[in-house]
């Protein structure tokens, strides 16, 4: 089943109509969405990142983000009202959040009382006395033109920076791994602090905002359109999303999953066949890793030239693979919904926890499709291993300036291939399936993965895993 919010011809007519006359003044910021009554699923144990300690704050645990965002593509200005429910981890006289220096804070409160705000680079520091484990509500009103920040990476697709980006017509999208959510909202921008989300995105009529969580619906009033999003599963900030374009919606249901995808008008014919294949790709992954972990799935097609496993709705550049996406990339990002989004790395040392399985699953799917043989896949990984270790460091101890390089993909997919050989396919498959099914909505690390593998292997696999993650040379298979 499929449905479009606006027929293509009508969308074009609206766009022409809006550009031919003055857009109505943006409406006043709507109130920030209310948090749900039960917030325990948003509770985390935040840590300081060993590689990127300037991001995030282990002193606070954000339970819920309520974001009311208004974005006007004509002038690229984002107006935000953020309401954060926070559990202070210890007593303190100030609260520190990540928020890009280019965004201006106009008002801030803690528990309804005005709290002075200071800026220190990309930190927002609010003066307020807080008490350990006594939840507080922080509101921040802000505005500005969102812009990306430099990526700690050497990848071509990250050369333009990470975070919110805007295109030629004012359309907006985000790619923000390992950080960059702070370019569009105040956030504890670290994967160890997952939280629940309620988001509204208001745009001039004819444009649509897409964000994180289950799509709740669209309302248009007085020349402006508001979409509403809710995530009852905790989300890490690097897999939240915001995208604004003249989107058409494509919707279907299969099994327990509601698929909602978004494509800029004019690109629908190209993308709809890919959207239609999503349930089949999810079913392939479910046969290996158990039930899909979230109520929603889909794709939002955006600018740029990357793909990202944003939670539920994955983000894919429209120009990827000649404008028609690429099924292997989609399979890869879908695999991350289990490995990365549902079970997340506690800090960025362990990004290999995500990329090893996504790379491995992507290859095994391609083998199933007859695109290559398992021997071909292993030969590619083996052929790359030493060079990747030389260029970027071993995958468990990589150069922090080379985030998400080939080492955390190829070297660790080869490690999984080796583990499968050591354990046998049945134990290996059960180990991975149980890892994601029995630990849904948790953060994990190398120690917990090693203990998990060792239990299924029936022997201590520490030396094996450490060698693959830390050795400057390819371990002997």
Q: Which residues bind Zn ion (CB under 5 A)?
A: 355, 358
- CB-nearer residue toward Zn ion: 176 or 225: 176
Closest to 204 measured CA to CA, from 72, 11, 27, 78: 72
Least distance to Zn ion, CB of residue 242, Å? 20
Nearer to Zn ion, 135 or 157 (CB): 157
CB atoms within 10 A of CB 36: 16
Q: Which is nearer to Zn ion, 243 or 335 (CB)?
A: 335
Residue 191 CB, nearest distance to Zn ion (Å)? 14
Whole-number Å distance between alpha carbons of 409 and 354: 9
Collapsing DSSP to helix, strand or coil, 437 comes out as: helix
Distance (Å, whole) CA 58 – CA 346: 12
Element (H, E) at 353: helix 352-368
The string over 248-284, giving b where at least 16 C-beta atoms fall within 10 Å of a residue's C-beta and e elsewhere, is: bbbbbeeeebbbbbbbbbebbeebbebbeebbebbeb
Q: Whole-number minimum distance, CB 351 to Zn ion, in Å?
A: 9
Residues of 131-169 as b/e, b for ≥16 C-beta within 10 angstroms?
A: eeeebbbbbbbbebebbbbebbbeeebbeebbbbbbbee
Compare residues 202 and 344 and give the one whose CB is closer to Zn ion.
Answer: 344
Cα gap 139→110, rounded to integer Å: 7
Min dist. Cβ of residue 265 to Zn ion (A): 29
Which is nearer to Zn ion, 175 or 271 (by Cβ)?
175
Measured from the CB atom, is 358 or 364 closer to Zn ion? 358
Nearer to Zn ion, 87 or 417 (CB): 417
Cα separations in angstroms, 238 against 163, 230, 462: 9, 17, 29
The minimum distance between CB 354 and Zn ion, in angstroms, equals 6
CB of 157 to Zn ion, least distance (A): 12
For Zn ion, the nearest residue by Cβ is 358
Kindly tell me which of 148 and 340 has the beta carbon lying closer to Zn ion. 340
| Nearest-approach distance from CB 149 to Zn ion, in angstroms | 21
Identify each DSSP E strand in 167-278 by its residue range: 172-175, 195-204, 208-211, 214-221, 224-235, 242-245, 247-254, 257-264
- Cβ of residue 363: shortest distance to Zn ion, in angstroms? 12
Compare residues 69 and 358 and give the one whose CB is closer to Zn ion.
358
Residue in the block written with tokens 């528990």: 111
Of 353 and 358, nearer to Zn ion (C-beta) is: 358
Q: Smallest gap, in angstroms, from Cβ of residue 239 to Zn ion?
A: 11
Whole-number Å distance between alpha carbons of 327 and 366: 9
Nearer to Zn ion, 358 or 419 (CB): 358
Instruction: Tell me the Cα Rg of the chain.
Output: 22
Query: 221: exposed, middle or buried (C-beta count within 10 Å: 0-12, 13-18, 19+)?
Result: exposed
- Whose Cβ is closer to Zn ion: residue 207's or residue 435's? 435
Per-residue burial over 89-118, b if 16 or more Cβ lie within 10 Å, else e, is beebeebbbbbbeebebeebbbeeeebebe
Q: How far is the CB of 427 from Zn ion (least distance, A)?
A: 25
Q: Is 208 exposed, middle or buried (0-12, 13-18, 19+ CB in 10 A)?
A: buried
Measured from the CB of residue 318, what is the shortest distance to Zn ion in angstroms? 19
Coil, strand, or helix at residue 113? strand
Q: Nearest distance from residue 392's CB to Zn ion, in Å?
A: 15
The number of beta carbons lying within 10 Å of the beta carbon of residue 327 is 18
Cβ atoms of 57 and 126 within 8 Å: the answer is no
Q: How far is the CB of 216 from Zn ion (least distance, A)?
A: 28
Which one, 205 or 355, has the nearer CB to Zn ion?
355
| Cα–chain center distance at 350 | 16
The candidate with the shortest Cα–Cα distance to 175, out of 155, 202, 197, is 155
């Amino acid at each position: 089943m499929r449905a479009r919010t606006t027929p293509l011809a009508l969308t074009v007519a609206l766009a022409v109509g809006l550009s031919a006359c003055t857009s109505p003044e943006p409406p006043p910021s709507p109130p920030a969405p209310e948090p749900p009554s039960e917030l325990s699923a948003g509770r985390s144990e935040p840590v300081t990142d060993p590689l990127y300690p300037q991001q995030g704050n282990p002193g606070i645990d954000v339970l819920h983000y309520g974001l009311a965002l208004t974005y006007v593509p004509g002038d690229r200005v984002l107006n935000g009202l953020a309401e954060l429910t926070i559990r202070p981890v210890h007593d303190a006289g100030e609260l520190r959040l990540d928020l890009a220096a280019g965004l201006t804070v106009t008002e801030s409160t803690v528990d309804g009382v005005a709290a002075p705000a200071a800026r220190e680079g990309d930190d927002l520091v609010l003066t307020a006395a807080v008490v350990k484990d006594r939840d507080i509500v922080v509101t921040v009103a802000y505005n500005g033109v969102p812009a990306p920040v430099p990526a700690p990476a050497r990848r071509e697709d990250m050369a333009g920076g990470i975070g919110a980006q805007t295109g030629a017509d004012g359309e907006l999208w985000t790619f923000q791994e390992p950080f960059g959510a702070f370019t569009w909202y105040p956030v504890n921008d670290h994967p160890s602090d997952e939280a629940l989300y309620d988001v509204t995105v208001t745009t001039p009529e004819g444009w649509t905002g897409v964000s994180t969580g289950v799509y709740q619906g669209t309302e248009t009033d007085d020349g402006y359109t508001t979409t509403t999003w809710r995530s009852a599963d905790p989300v890490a900030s690097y897999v939240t999303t915001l995208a604004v374009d003249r989107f058409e919606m494509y919707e279907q249901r299969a099994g327990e999953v509601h698929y909602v995808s978004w494509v800029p008008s004019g690109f629908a014919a190209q993308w709809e066949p890919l959207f239609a294949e999503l349930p089949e790709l999810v079913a392939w992954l479910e046969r290996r890793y158990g039930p899909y972990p979230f109520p929603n799935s889909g794709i939002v097609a955006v600018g740029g030239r990357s793909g990202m496993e944003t939670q539920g709705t994955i983000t894919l550049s429209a120009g990827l693979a000649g404008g028609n996406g690429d099924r292997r990339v989609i399979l890869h990002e879908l695999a991350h919904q289990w490995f990365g989004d549902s079970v997340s790395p506690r800090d960025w040392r362990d990004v290999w926890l995500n990329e090893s399985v996504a790379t491995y699953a992507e290859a095994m799917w391609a083998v199933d499709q007859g695109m290559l043989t398992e021997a071909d896949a292993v030969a590619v990984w083996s052929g790359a291993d030493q060079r990747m270790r030389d260029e970027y460091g071993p995958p468990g101890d990589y150069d922090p300036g080379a985030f998400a390089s080939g080492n955390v993909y190829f070297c660790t997919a080869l490690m999984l291939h080796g583990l499968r050989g050591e354990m046998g396919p049945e134990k290996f498959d059960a180990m991975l399936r149980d890892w994601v099914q029995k630990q849904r909505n948790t953060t994990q690390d190398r120690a917990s993965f090693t203990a998990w593998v060792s239990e299924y292997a029936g022997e201590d696999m520490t030396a094996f895993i450490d060698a693959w993650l830390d050795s400057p040379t390819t371990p002997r298979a």
